[in-house]
Amino acid sequence: MRLNQCYNFQDFRKLAKQRLPGPIFNYIDGGADDETTYRRNTEAFEECDLLPSVLTGVEDIDLSVTVMGQKLDMPVYCSPTALQRLFHHQGERATAGAAEKYGTMFGVSSLGTVSLEEIAQQTSTPQVYQFYFHKDRGLNRAMMERAKAAGVQVMMLTVDSITGGNRERDLRTGFSIPFRLTLAGLIQFAIKPMWGLHYVFHEKFSLPQLDAHINMGSSTSSIGDYFTNMLDPTMNWDDVAEMVKFWDGQFCLKGIMTVEDAKRAVDIGCTGIVISNHGGRQLDGARSSFDQLAEIVDAVGDKIDVLFDSGIQRGTHVLKALSLGAKAVGIGRMYLYPLAAAGQPGVERALGLMQQELIRDMRLMGCKSISELSRKNLRFR
């Protein structure tokens, strides 16, 4: 299978599985516990039907939206994800370049493998910094100051990851950073030698946002240790309110799933929230993001920008989320599979296909602009 034979989410997933060692593919592909929430995230869209209008004159389609002060050419953005140079040696450089080509927003993670500063110099696309809250308050402030100095437009605090989810696929393969693979995991690396060659002969793996604070080359330090030992499970609304005040700009909470929490985000001065269950990778059995979207939009949609992620695989999924009131939709695996399969050309193909789907589907819906989408376009079974 080749990149030009990929036309949808499942095609990119298949190609990534062909090219990645099993432990790394399963790190992207897996969810928590029994992966119930992971599956439900996409299944939820199947219970909602689109209701198109006809004869509306839809030759020209405007996909642009404005989210947290950022003008995007399409209502889909690349959510911040960790460890991208493990999946492909270009890592965040490839994703940022593709996002810029399609005029959309891109996020860098605290566990990103390319520095904020390099991405800011490389691209002009709006940049989000996905932030984890550490026990060391001085470290939190230093990292925010660094992000502000780099020109980051949006601070996005992840609030559903004070501890890591139970990702049993990773336990079975021994996936960790640094690698501590089981025999089965080692065999998977041996039968996918091209990945290993790229890993060895390109720049050394690192986490530039955290290199000064955590030694990932140590045999005693790992990503799991980072979540367990450095992140602060006592984080509360007062802590976040101080961060919002210190940042003094566009500030978004990622991982909101209840009306009550959405209202608190408004009260402390956030400008955005992301309705998200972390792609089913944290609390298994949690409700799907799509199932929670309408009631949260009804409660706070006129006071704060409501974004959405988890489970998106098609342009029609995006249109359903936008029709319920989301301002924009984040994708994760949908660009990580093509990144792993082919680097920047892969991400560009995925975003290009999404753009084509959205334009075609908007015409079929009888809508010329995103603002014309509404709940009148939907029926639930």
pLDDT in tens, 150-191: 999 999 999 998 878 888 888 888 777 666 666 766 777 777
Q: What is the pLDDT along the chain (381 residues), one digit of tens a residue?
A: 899 999 999 999 999 999 998 889 999 999 999 999 999 999 999 999 999 999 988 889 999 999 999 999 999 999 999 899 989 999 999 999 999 999 999 999 988 899 999 999 989 888 899 998 888 888 889 889 999 999 999 999 999 988 788 888 888 887 776 666 667 667 777 777 777 777 777 788 788 888 777 665 544 445 666 666 778 888 999 999 999 999 999 999 999 999 999 999 999 999 999 999 999 999 999 999 999 999 999 999 999 999 999 999 999 999 999 999 999 999 999 999 999 999 999 999 999 999 999 999 999 999 999 999 999 999 999
Active-site residue set: 278
Q: Where are the alpha helices (DSSP H) in the chain?
A: 9-19, 22-29, 36-43, 84-87, 92-101, 116-122, 137-150, 168-173, 183-190, 193-201, 223-225, 237-247, 259-267, 289-300, 315-323, 333-342, 344-365
Judge contact between 63 and 363, C-beta under 8 A. Answer: no
Specify the 3-state DSSP secondary structure of 91.
coil
Q: Within a 10 A sphere around the Cβ of 34, how many other Cβ atoms? A: 12
Q: Which single residue is written with the structure tokens 């030759």?
A: 59
How far is CA 78 from its chain centroid? 6
Q: Which single residue is written with the structure tokens 């690698």?
A: 179
CA–CA separation, 167 vs 169, rounded Å? 6
Amino acid occupying residue 208: P
pLDDT tens figures, 176-231 = 766 666 676 677 777 777 777 777 777 887 888 887 776 655 444 456 666 667 78
* DSSP codes of every residue in 283-335: STTPPPHHHHHHHHHHHHTTTSEEEEESS--SHHHHHHHHHTT-SEEEESHHH
Q: Which single residue is written with the structure tokens 């370049």?
A: 97
